[in-house]
Amino acid sequence: MQKPYVPSVNLSVINARLERITTIQQVLIDQIRVMETMTTLDFMEFRDFLVPASGFQSVQFRLVEATLGIKPHHRMEVEKQFFISRLNTQDRARLAEAESKVSIFELLEAWLSRMPFGQYEDYDFWSEYSAAVAKMLDQDFKIISSNPGLDERMRAMELKNLEMTRETFITLLDGEKFSALYEQGKVKLTQKAMLSAVFIFLYRDYPALQMPFKILNSLVEVDEKFTTWRYRHAIMVQRILGAKIGTGGSSGHEYLKSTTERNRVFLDLFHLATYLIPKEMIPQLPPAVKSQLDIVYDSSRL
């Protein structure tokens, strides 16, 4: 994806590799069950031999995180002190090198940013989308306002939620507001990249977008499997150690749990569902745009 243009055949290979990665991740998750066959009593017998090392210090784990896109400024201060400070000089250098390279996240950002979708000479897709969103939200407003099953407190709450949803859409489409979010670190993708991703999600069924859609989904899957691994690992540690301290002096479970949801690289992709709208409200693309996304065979031959 570093090249200016990725041939569509290569997208297929990229996705196949990502699917292999998530398959491997699933095996890594499943094999936690093997560690779980070890009882606390088994573990206590050799625990002392591990001090002061700790599984949290695995440099390989950090290398994978860095390759995906976690940079030093994403990590909590305590995390850096606690783990990275314990690496030896050579491993620190390896990690620094991995962190300085272009990450998968950065490749994704560049690829999405240069996509041509949504920008057409005589068709303003995003104002069509904006109109569709407004229509959807007005409809929701009516449903909530007139729903006899809601008492006043619930109705007020739902209407407040609706306004928040409206604000979310406005932010997506407003360059300045989105930049503000980006500056605050609340999103990681730029608006340009985000809009391409939304377009891909909306029109995923066209041949040109099927593989990009699968790639976005596979990246979310990589993230989720990482999260699931951390969660299952934390549960395993708690079950074996209880509230005891781990080797390496870490109060195991609590730390692990705090990192379960953090360090997600592709969270913006995970949240894409936020920007979808009902199928029948999605703007119909004009034929000229459609033809760029579709492959149509001469029906007389089919």
Is 162 near a second copy (CB under 8 A)? yes
Residues of this chain, 51-80, that bind a second copy according to CB under 8 A:
51-52
Asked, as a colleague might, if the bond just before 52 is cis with ω within 30 of 0, I would say: yes
Cα–Cα dist 35/158, whole Å: 46
Closest distance of CB 174 from a second copy, Å: 17
Closest distance of CB 171 from a second copy, Å: 11
Is 297 near a second copy (CB under 8 A)? yes
Is 289 near a second copy (CB under 8 A)? no
Residues of this chain, 175-194, that bind a second copy according to CB under 8 A:
none
Question: CB of 209 within 8 A of CB of 112?
Answer: no
Collapsed DSSP state (helix, strand, coil) of residue 119? strand
What residues does 123 pair with on adjacent strands?
120
Q: Which stretch binds a second copy (CB under 8 A): 47-55, 90-98, 99-107, 170-178?
A: 47-55
Cα–Cα dist 75/58, whole Å: 16
Size of the site for a second copy (CB under 8 A): 92
146: Cα within 13 Å, side-chain hemisphere = 6
Closest CA to 132 of 284, 283, 275: 283
Tokens 């491993």 belong to 91
Q: Which stretch binds a second copy (CB under 8 A): 59-67, 100-108, 189-197, 202-210?
A: 202-210
x/- mask, a second copy, residues 208-237, rule CB under 8 A, reads x-xx--------x---x------x---x--
Nearer to a second copy, 151 or 183 (CB): 151
